[in-house]
Each structure stands twice: as C-alpha cells, then as structure tokens.
Amino acid sequence: MKQSFSHHLVRRGRVFPEKVLSPEEKARIEAEEAVFYKRCREVFERVQPELIQEHYDWFIVIEPDSREYFIDLDKNVALSKSRSKQPEKKCVIMQINETGTCGRI
C-alpha cells in the first residue's frame, strides 16, 4: 500500500492586506468603544442590585442610547428580544452577577 503525503502550503499573513488601519484610526475606535462600554456599564450598575436577587446569572442585553435592557435566562433569547425592538442598535451582553461578566476566565 502506498503512503500518500500532502504538501500543503501554509500561507501566512493578512487575509486582506489592503485593509490596514492607521494607529490614529485604531485609537479613535478604541476610545469610542470605551465610551460605549462605560455608558452600558452605568445602566448595568443602576439595575443590577434590583435584578440580582431574582435573576442571578441571567443574561442582560443593554442598549445605552435608550437605556433599555432585555433579560432572559438564555443569551440568544435576550438578544433576539433586543433585536426585535431595536434591530439597528449596537448593544452589549452582560450577565446579572456581581461582576457582569459572562463565562469563566
């Protein structure tokens, strides 16, 4: 029986090398994301004490512009609730616990 060898060529590098962000653009995007997260975190800190007793480890989807939030035990259901109400808005998903983080580190 013959043994076949694969000469698979591994290509390294960027998938889209023409799409390179400047350091200024990267810094601007990171600053915008930090401001967005801070606004979401403010809503979370406001509602977390009242929700943590009955909805511990549920998921919360926060939209900071309207300050609306959607909760459910299933992450996908909470996300679909927010998408049905505000389909074009950027949201953040957190978990209702002491830290707001989802999963393990």
Structure confidence by residue, pLDDT tens digits, 32-88 = 999 999 999 999 999 999 999 999 999 999 999 999 999 999 999 999 999 999 888
In a domain, 81, yes or no: yes
In a domain, 104, yes or no: no
In a domain, 36, yes or no: yes
Total number of residues shown for the chain:
105
Who contacts 69 (Cβ-Cβ below 8 Å, separation ≥6)? Answer: 43, 44, 47, 60, 61, 62, 63
Output the pLDDT for position 14. Answer: 77
In a domain, 39, yes or no: yes
**Domain hosting residue 31, numbered range:** 23-95
In a domain, 80, yes or no: yes
Distance CA 84, CA 67 (A): 16
Name which residue leads in pLDDT, 101 or 26.
Answer: 26
Output the pLDDT for position 34. Answer: 96
Cβ–Cβ under 8 Å, residues 52 and 96? yes
**Number of domains the chain is built from:** 1
pTM higher than the cut 0.85: no
Burial 11-47 (b: 16+ CB within 10 A, else e): eeeeeeeeeeeeeeeeeeeeeeeeeeeebbbebbeee
In a domain, 41, yes or no: yes
**Residue 1 clears pLDDT 70, i.e. is over it:** no
In a domain, 49, yes or no: yes
In a domain, 14, yes or no: no
Owner of token pair 């950027």: 90
